[in-house]
Structure 1
Amino acid sequence: MIAQTGERLILASRSAARRAMLTGAGVPFTAQDAGVDEAAIKATLPGIDPAELALELARAKALAVSRHDPEAWVLGSDQTLDLEGTMVSKARNLPEARERLISMRGRTHHLNAAAALARDGAVVWSGVDTARMTLRRFSDAFLDAYLEAEGEDLLGSVGCYRLEGLGSQLFDRVEGDYFTVLGMPLWPVLAELRRAGVIAT
């Protein structure tokens, strides 16, 4: 950890990747599940742009925790996947993950990662970044080996892959920020945490 400012930061997320990003960047924080019903929020926003939905979910998570702990800074984050105009949700099981990856094979999708910072029950900043991801035409044999190796851990990712692991072999090309792919636009988040006095400048 680098110099502490005395401000408290709560990450409103269960995501191991987001926790690892903040930890790796030397940001002191605690993590708390926001307990947000994402499906209910999506149901109230039919036809919304996937990037805007990621922002709405990030804001909802930050607000949910901030209302219970108004003196802390609360960071919410979310990610959506847009496959050629169709929004894709997380797979519920491995057979569904297999079908999802087959449907994306050889195609390009957009991965939107959003973050929001709240204090005193109000969002004070939010932002979103997008990466362009092109899957290669991997064989069925590779896919089956990949699913066996990764197991249900990949169900935590909307794209059924972890770029920091074996999932990197699924791709031909990735255009965009690495941290955005992992699930949070880290550079803008760090800039806002500095502006807010949460981390040292």
Structure 2
Amino acid sequence: MTATPLILASGSAVRQKLLAEAGLTFTAEDSRLDEDALKAGFAQGEAGDHASPEAETDALALRLAEAKAIAVSAKRQGALVIGADQILSCEGRRYDKPKSMAEARANLLAFRGRPHILHSGLVIVKDGAAIWNLTARATLTMRAFSEEFLDAYLDEAGERVMKSVGCYQLEGPGVQLFEKIEGDYFDILGLPMLPLLKELRRQGVLGS
């Protein structure tokens, strides 16, 4: 193993917990980038002329992850910087984290009885350049829950729902919203751990 500094370019408590529980030594630094501006500047077709809407969203998630990591890498010469981002799409529409409980309720009603996709982008940057990246998807289908159940769920979960783009945490009562989940657990949490750990071993940061 090398002494190469490892930095997570994220303020996400979930991502920090995943890395810490996997035994990694790292620091976390929020890039504080304007994600709305980055999304607005993302040009349609960047994933290819004939890319599907899903592939376009994959490309956007990766673009956001890379931008965050590059911003942190500019101040941390020689370090390996991990950037990650996640976008939710449902029937062709992209969703951001809700800004209010009312918006969270409206989003959950839009997801009700339908599948949605969580698109994750993951990148490692060193000295301002990406040296590795991947995208991953998970598909989750919510059951046709009643509005009474939804209101009870929101009362129990509280403002925690606004910390997640999907307005739920699977490790809590949010799991009751679902009837089917397809995808890796870590992909759902927004940090594909197994391929990341494999690459960190290849980079000599972790023992092989």
Instruction: Please name the residue that 2:125 is paired with.
Output: 118
Instruction: Please name the residue that 1:104 is paired with.
Output: 111
Change (3 A) 1:36 1:138: same
Displacement of 1:47: 3.5
Secondary structure, aligned partner of 1:80: strand
Instruction: Please name the residue that 1:45 is paired with.
Output: 42
Matched, 1:181 2:178: no
* Matches of 1:71 and 1:117, distance apart in 2: 12
1:1-201 matches, cutoff 5 A: 5-47=2-44, 49-201=56-208
Structure 2 gap ranges (5+):
46-55
Secondary structure, aligned partner of 1:148: helix
Secondary structure, aligned partner of 1:125: strand
Structure 1 contact 105–138 (Cα < 8 Å) conserved:
yes
Secondary structure, aligned partner of 1:91: coil
Of structures 1 and 2, the one scoring higher in RCO (CA 8 A, sep 6+) is: 1
* Matches of 1:150 and 1:7, distance apart in 2: 39
Structure 1 contact 5–200 (Cα < 8 Å) conserved:
no
* Overall identity of the aligned pairs, in %: 48
Q: CA RMSD in A?
A: 1.2
Structure 1 gap ranges (5+):
none
Quick one: which amino acid aligns to residue 126 of structure 2? R
Change (3 A) 1:46 1:155: farther
Displacement of 1:135: 0.3
Secondary structure, aligned partner of 2:145: coil
Displacement of 1:157: 0.8
Structure 1 contact 113–180 (Cα < 8 Å) conserved:
yes
Displacement of 1:89: 1.4
The size of the alignment, in residue pairs, is 198
Q: Which runs of 4+ in 1 moved over 2 A?
A: none
Secondary structure, aligned partner of 1:56: helix
Secondary structure, aligned partner of 1:189: helix
* Matches of 1:27 and 1:149, distance apart in 2: 33
Deviations 1:134-185 (A, max 9, x none): 0011111211111111111111111111112111111100001000001111
Quick one: which amino acid aligns to residue 137 of structure 2? T
